[in-house]
Amino acid sequence: MNTTQLIIVVPCFNEDAVLNETTAQLSEVLLDMEEKKLILSGEILYVDDGSRDQTWKLIEDLSQKNKRIKGLKLAHNVGHQQALWAGLEWAAHKTYDAIVSIDADLQDDVNAIKEMAIRYQEGNDIVYGVRNERKTDTFFKKNTALMFYRLMNTMGGEIVYNHADFRLMSKRALQALIIHPERNLFLRGMVCSIGFPSACVYYNRKERFAGESKYPLSKMINFALDGITSFSVKPLRLITIFGLSFMVIASLMICYALYAFISHHAIQGWTSLLISVWFIGGAILTAIGVIGEYIGKIYKEVKRRPRYFIEKEI
């Protein structure tokens, strides 16, 4: 007997053009999963992220007609990550066994949720939805995304390539996530850092069903910067490394400048100027780097992240 109660959390910002269709498709998937005994029951939670259109009215109407549907209305637009967090936190305090997060615009394949549930039954706490290809994305979005994943990985933040916020989490994983106290959210990185058994489900990402993207370039850049700075203090360490390299170059330059001075190749004043520029530049960078190291430590401390999660106990 499968007793899994599933909830799908969907953040919505000005999505009145898609919600009817989203509801129809998600309900169909949930019904199918119930019939196949993949889950016992399935519900949908719409989080209205301070929309300025008819989104909340629509959620109210839908919840009248369809008992699967629940709604949360946020008082102000707080952004995708915070809105999703609101839904996750709400669900964590209820009795759901598993939660799925998905965007409202039907770009992610709703049928992948079935496979996620199967992976979950096999014992995975986190199932990442990973898109196969980026056919429908523009050349620009595809390449900036790729650059971002590379940069993020070299900076030491672990993320799953081509995975956004379409994923399933078990109750245990969800509870581990919501005790992260930080305010700067980069959920795809935070979820990866939890650990616990995980699996990937692959799907093709489609075009937005209707409406337009709520992630213009400016928001994308902010999000990428947030991702890197919330997961890594490496940019600060880079300053120290630069500073020390400058000092090494400075000492070579000093030897060269002194040699030129002694052998009378140098113009008057050149030696002292050259030495000062390299040495002072290096010294300043090193000093900033040292300060950076401490700021990095302070940053890690103030986040007060949980230190570990226990996966098994015997």
Residue 204 C-beta: closest distance to Mg ion, Å: 14
Return the range that interacts with ligand UDP (CB under 6 A); candidates 78-86, 131-139, 273-281, 294-302: 78-86
49 binds Mg ion, rule: CB under 5 A: no
Q: Which is nearer to Mg ion, 51 or 107 (CB)?
A: 107
Q: Which DSSP symbol is given to 32?
A: H
Using alpha carbons, select from 6, 204, 22 the residue that is nearest to residue 117: 6
To Mg ion, the closest distance from the beta carbon of 80 in angstroms equals 9
Which residues partner with 11 through β-bridges? Answer: 47
Among 4, 23, 101, 107, binds ligand UDP (CB under 6 A): 107
Q: Does 13 engage in binding with ligand UDP (CB under 6 A)?
A: yes
Closer by beta carbon to Mg ion, 49 or else 103: 103
Q: Are 230 and 189 in contact (CB under 8 A)?
A: yes
Distance CA 6, CA 36 (A): 14
Count of residues touching ligand UDP (by CB under 6 A): 16
Q: 268: which 2 tokens?
A: 């008057």
Distance in angstroms (rounded) separating the CA atoms of residues 6 and 222? 32
Residue 77 touching ligand UDP (CB under 6 A): yes
The span of 101-109, 115-123, 195-203, 259-267 binding Mg ion (CB under 5 A) equals 101-109
Residue from 215, 242, 256, 299 that binds ligand UDP (CB under 6 A)?
A: 215
Residue 98: HSE in the Cβ half-sphere, 13 Å Cα cutoff: 27
The DSSP bridge partners found for residue 203 are: 131
Write the secondary structure of 70-123 as one string of H (helix), E (strand) and C (coil): EEEEECCCCCHHHHHHHHHHHHHCCCCCEEEECCCCCCCCCCHHHHHHHHHHCC
Q: Does 105 bind ligand UDP (CB under 6 A)?
A: yes
DSSP 164: E
Query: Closest distance between Mg ion and the C-beta of residue 297, in Å?
Result: 37
User: Do the bridges between strand 163-170 and strand 126-131 make them parallel or antiparallel, or are there none, so unpaired?
Assistant: antiparallel
Q: How far apart are CA 201 and CA 216, in angstroms?
A: 27
Residue whose CB is nearest to Mg ion in the complex, by number? 105
Matching residue, tokens 């400058």: 246
> Residue 57 corresponds to which amino acid?
K
CA distances from 126 to 93, 104, 116, 117, 226 (A): 18, 21, 9, 10, 23
Give the one residue of 51, 101, 107, 240 binding Mg ion; rule: CB under 5 A.
107
Q: Which of 6, 8, 11, 174 binds ligand UDP (CB under 6 A)?
A: 11
Beta carbon of residue 207, minimum distance to ligand UDP (angstroms, whole number): 10
Taking the complex as a whole, the smallest distance from the CB of residue 158 to ligand UDP amounts, in Å, to 21
* In the complex, least distance from residue 208 CB atom to Mg ion, rounded to whole angstroms: 5
101 binds Mg ion (CB under 5 A): no
CB of 291 to Mg ion, least distance (A): 40
Applying CB under 6 A, the residues found at the interface with ligand UDP are: 11-13, 15, 49, 77, 79-80, 83, 103-105, 107, 213-215
**Contact positions toward Mg ion, by CB under 5 A?**
103, 105, 107
